[in-house]
Amino acid sequence: MIYRHILSGARIAISILAAVTILMIVDPAVAAGIEIAVGAPDTVSVGQEVEVKAVLSQNGVPVEGAEVALTYQASLAGESARVEIATGTTDETGIAVMIYEQRADANGEMQVVYLGPDADPVEPYVLTIAVESAGPQLYEFEAGVKIPFVNGTLVILVISGVWFLIGLSAVYLVRVGWDGRGTSEASTPEDGSMWISTLLSTVAVITAIGMVIVFIRSPVSNTHIKDPHQYDRTPIAYVGVGFSYVGFGLNDESSAQTGDPIADGSVLYFKYGCAACHGLSGRGAVVGAPLVDEIGSFGGFSEDTREGPKGMSEYDEATISEENLQKIYAYLKDEG
């Protein structure tokens, strides 16, 4: 279902190329156990459909009906693990063809893993496929149907037309006043009382212009993915690029410069988002462990903060300075 939205590039042509470059390595030295050999391209680009062939043999005899999987080292939001991106079954020549689409910016160390049917452990085959960086966006989506000429411009034309007529009418009223000017009689005390209709037509023109401006300023569509540089309200996350998690951030940095480490620490504890996981008073919450009574030495505290145990994000020195960390420590100690 998702693939429906994915723009496939010119991947088929390249995949044929990849299929040709198979390296057949059979090592007869290993008598027992299943041997895996792999043929794969050296370099691929993002979005390319890559064909990886694995050859399985046992004592030089091709293994038929074995299941293998291709994995790569992936990491997301602090979690890192091997992700199975393709599987295959060997045919009578012992060759399993695995096709995957290159989605990651870097594959790291890839492995061809033997899945079965034998229960005996098989050494995975390690291979490296380099990825040309900065490929095109693969997952794109678009809402709605675009009909040529049925768009905002048409609406602007209609509204402008209506306002032109309203303005025209107002102009006639101004001219009524203009025509009556000067031919003053006793009962018409003064001239120039057409200012009201002038005002009306001015308002009409200004409102009309205002509406057109609203139109022009409106974002083109529901999504900014095609035009991310138009977008400026929050940072954008890119594949393979990250930045340090700094929590909510306080609106006034200077409030953590009082000189009292405990008071500063209570502010910083909040600033770096500690409170969000470890509870507002440091006594623990659903996500984070309690800190106050179990804080221990500064060394351990510092190490945990820098390395982020159990899925906690890492706070390096660039994010929380040693000085600030000590203040937070002082605050938590004091709370305990």
Using CB under 8 A as the binding rule, the residues of this chain from 66 to 125 that contact other proteins are 74-85, 101, 103-105
Q: Cβ(258)–Cβ(331) under 8 Å?
A: no
Q: Which of 44, 110, 200, 325 binds other proteins (CB under 8 A)?
A: 200
The correct pick among 13, 23, 130, 165 for binding other proteins (CB under 8 A) is: 165
CB 82 within 8 A of CB 126: no
Q: Which stretch binds other proteins (CB under 8 A): 50-58, 128-136, 297-305, 328-336?
A: 128-136
Residues that contact other proteins, how many (by CB under 8 A)? 123
**Stretch of 21-29, 120-128, 202-210, 321-329 contacting other proteins, by CB under 8 A:** 202-210
Q: How far is the CB of 99 from other proteins (least distance, A)?
A: 13
- Examine residue 280 and tell whether it contacts other proteins (CB under 8 A): yes
Q: Whose Cβ is closer to other proteins: residue 57's or residue 305's?
A: 305
Site for other proteins in 216-235 (CB under 8 A): 216-220, 222-225, 227-235
Which residues between 41 and 70 bind other proteins (CB under 8 A)? 46
Check binding of 297 to other proteins (CB under 8 A).
no
CB atoms within 10 A of CB 227: 11
Contacts of 278 (CB under 8 A, 6+ apart): 284, 285, 288, 289, 290, 291
In sequence order, what are the residues at sequence separation of 6 or more whose Cβ sits closer than 8 angstroms to the Cβ of residue 166? 204, 208
Which of 187, 254, 259, 299: binder of other proteins (CB under 8 A)?
Answer: 187
Question: Considering the rule CB under 8 A, would residue 29 count as an interface residue with other proteins?
Answer: no
**Is-contact 248 267, C-beta < 8 A?**
no
Nearer to other proteins, 16 or 220 (CB): 220
Residues between 238 and 267 with contacts to other proteins, criterion CB under 8 A: 238-252, 255, 267
16-19: which pairs have CB atoms within 8 A and are 24 or more residues apart? 17/41, 18/44, 18/50, 18/51, 18/52, 19/51, 19/53, 19/97
Full DSSP string of 210-240: HHHHHHHHS-SSS--TT-GGG--SS---BTT
Cα gap 95→106, rounded to integer Å: 26
How buried is residue 327: exposed, middle or buried, by Cβ count under 10 Å (0-12/13-18/19+)?
buried
Is residue 189 a contact residue for other proteins (CB under 8 A)? yes
Our finding on whether 308 is near other proteins (CB under 8 A) is: yes
Is 136 a binding residue for other proteins by CB under 8 A? The answer is yes
| Least distance in angstroms from the C-beta of 67 to other proteins | 15
Dist. CA 72–CA 89, nearest whole Å: 19
Binding mask 143-162 for other proteins (x = CB under 8 A): xx-------xx-x---x--x
**Would you give the DSSP letter of residue 186?**
T
Please name which of 284, 298, 300 lies closest in space to residue 333, comparing C-alpha atoms: 298
